[in-house]
Amino acid sequence: MQAIKNVVIVGGGTAGWLAAAAIGKIYQGKVSVTLLESDAIGTIGVGEATIPTMMAFHKLVGIPEQEVMRATHATFKLGINFKNWGEIGEDYIHAFGQVGRIFWGGEFQHFWARSQKLGMKAPFGAYCLEQEAARAGKFAICENPVLNYAFHFDAGLYAKYLRGFSESFGVVRQEGKIERVEQDADSGYITRLHLENGYTLDGDFFIDCTGFRGLLIEETLKTGYENWQHWLPCDTALAVQSSKVGPATAYTSATAHEFGWQWRIPLQNRTGNGVVYSSEFADRNWAEKTLANNIDGEMLMNPRLIQFKTGRRKLGWNKNCVALGLSSGFLEPLESTSIHMVTSALIRLLRLFPLRGVQPVLVEEYNRQSREEAESIRDFIILHYHSTRRTDTEFWNYVRTMPVPDTLRHRMDMFVESGMLFLGGDELFRSNGWTQVMIGQGFAPQHYQPIVDNMADNEFRAYMKGFSDHVASNLRLLPNHEDFIAKYCAMEEFKAQPA
Ligand code: FAD
């Protein structure tokens, strides 16, 4: 067990530079950090939608949000608009906010279920300010009301920004392509990287951020991959940037098509688009036509094909190597969870950091938490496919009827029977997320908690209307999303005020 003094990060994509920023800043003076990246290989170039945990990570590491917004042409994101998922023609938003309120007697879906029985028309989302603001194109960071939000940003510019941030804390960047990896003959630990240009790089601890190939974690350490393609069959994306048309929405769009779905991510200056599909059911021709027929604006580049295998690396931490980002696995981009999984893995690593040497108990704990996190996010993403009612193609028939993990089956059965959700304390998606997706896709509970019936009908109607009126009055206070971005980016130092 050798004390860790030299950390080497391999890969300069989003994962690599996030690791450099976090370890470089938080362990400044305790370890030296070198990041190796290859200009010849480049980065994946997608991954532009985030979730609110990103904001918490920025605060933790001290990354100034306003600077990131300016540097990356970012827009705000209040949720994801899912079109054609339950059935063709339907749409709903999975918003980041609270729907209604949680009461001691039951979660809000029970109240909403009774309101439906009484013939009240307001959809579930009408009780969530983030959802209504997203639909209305409104946004503000203010003291009251407080919105829960994330960013859409240019991934290349974000990595560049993080590079400058990391270098200011002493992280050293090295350019070069790894040709060979040297391991200790007894322990198998990685000791030295040999580069094509003849240089070598020594380290005590290595962070593999080399993307899908997993140059250290897989090609060197042969860690193994748990394949989840039978549950998440999409394996290909065709991505393209297009010119900006109209105001930027404060949400990501995820529109289902015959054999997969399409993302639309608006930035201040352009739009990111991509079709995600299963190569078992469709080919590149279909993807090209679908993309061309469904993007607004002009294509700014030739579409790029990206292939992936959904699943996870069996161990995120193996010997003296931790895999972050795509080298640790990939679920798929539907709920914009990959960058979150980099930041949550980094927080885990910072807490378990082996300054005194790699000890099995730290490794086991890290791997246990990583597995639980990936499995719970996996279940949530599978839910979107499996709870469809679409029967128009073999793709939708497959995902609608496929066996799903027992954990997900139990959760869905429990919800249909009782309207209840029982979540583990560390799960990323809470009942707000699960209920919005389930109800949004027409997966409604058959029963609700009887305690909700304790109010008389008139009293109950007034009570529910009070909630939706409160959302509506808060909505009127919010400015237009793009106007707020302009003001926010122009101000030297933004301080939240009441709206
Ligand atoms: P990469 O960007 O691939 O970087 C790999 C790095 O390793 C590069 O710097 C490369 O030069 C270096 N490297 C490789 N081999 C060598 C070598 N031999 N020597 C030296 N250096 C080497 N995530 C989200 O959170 N939101 C999204 O909306 C989202 N959309 C996505 C859409 C698609 C289609 C895909 C495939 C992914 C998406 N992701 C998304 C995931 C996201 O793109 C990644 O999690 C994120 O970009 C991190 O990638 P990375 O840094 O792990 O890998």
> What is the per-residue pLDDT for 281?
98
Whether residues 218 and 352 fall in one domain:
yes
Can you give the pLDDT at residue 24? 97
Q: Looking at the structure, tell me whether residues 287 and 327 fall in a common domain.
A: no
Residue 482: inside a domain? no
| Nearest to 210, CA basis, from 313, 319, 325 | 325
In the reported structure, the alpha carbon of residue 153 is separated from the centroid of ligand 1 by a whole-number distance in angstroms of 15
According to the model, what pLDDT value does residue 499 have? 81
| Nearest residue to 135 (alpha-carbon basis) of 253, 269, 52 | 253
On whether both 225 and 328 belong to a single domain, the answer is: yes
Q: What is the pLDDT of residue 470?
A: 95
pLDDT at 255: 98
* Ligand 1 neighbourhood includes 177 CB (under 6 angstroms): yes
State whether 164 and 215 are in the same domain: yes
Q: Is the CB of 11 under 6 A from ligand 1?
A: yes
DSSP 147: P
What is the 349 CA–ligand 1 centroid distance (Å)? 19
| Residue 77: active-site member | yes
In a domain, 258, yes or no: yes
Question: Which helix (H) or strand (E) segment is 28 a member of?
Answer: none
Q: Greatest CA span in the chain, whole angstroms?
A: 80
CA-to-CA dists, residue 49 to 20, 478, 480, angstroms: 21, 23, 20
* 280 in any annotated domain: yes
Strands (E), 153-266: 172-175, 178-183, 190-195, 200-202, 205-208, 225-227, 236-243, 252-257, 260-266
Residue 84 covered by a domain = no
CA distances from 207 to 30, 184, 284, 463 (A): 17, 17, 34, 53
251 and 277 in a single domain? The answer is yes
Q: Are 221 and 282 part of one and the same domain? A: no
Q: Is there an atom of ligand 1 within 6 Å of 217 CB?
A: no
What is the SS3 string spanning 203-223?
CCEEEECCHHHCCCCCCCCCC
User: Do residue 282 and residue 337 come from a single domain?
Assistant: no
- Tokens 């998922």 correspond to what residue? 85
Calculate the CA 318 to chain-centre distance.
24
Q: Answer whether 325 contacts ligand 1 (Cβ < 6 A).
A: yes
382 lies in a domain?
A: no
Per-residue CA distances from 461 to 98, 124, 184, 474 (Å):
20, 15, 70, 20
CA of 212 to the centre of ligand 1 (A): 7
On whether both 224 and 318 belong to a single domain, the answer is yes
Tally of structural domains, the chain? 2
Which of 302, 327, 342 is a domain's end point? Answer: 302
Q: Is 183 within the bounds of a domain?
A: yes
Q: Which of 77, 83, 138, 319 is catalytic?
A: 77
Residue 175 included in any domain: yes
Of 339, 358, 377, which residue sits at a domain end? Answer: 358
What pLDDT score was predicted for residue 239? 98
User: Counting atoms of ligand 1 from 1, which one is nearest the CA of 342?
Assistant: 45
What range does the domain containing 197 cover? 6-48+154-229+310-358
CATH code (residue 217): 3.50.50.60
Q: Classify residue 397: in a domain, yes or no.
A: no
* pLDDT value at residue 303: 97
What's residue 102's pLDDT? 74
What is the mean pLDDT, run by run of 10 residues, along the chain of 499 residues?
A: 93 98 96 97 94 96 96 98 98 96 81 94 94 98 95 97 98 97 97 97 98 98 98 98 96 98 98 98 97 96 97 98 98 97 98 96 98 98 98 98 98 93 91 95 87 93 94 96 96 84
Please tell me the distance between residue 57's alpha carbon and the centre of ligand 1 in angstroms: 19
Q: Are residues 214 and 328 in the same domain?
A: yes
pLDDT of res. 106: 77
Q: 257 and 202 in one domain?
A: no
Residues 159, 43 share a domain: yes
pLDDT at 425: 86
**217 and 347 belong to one structural domain:** yes
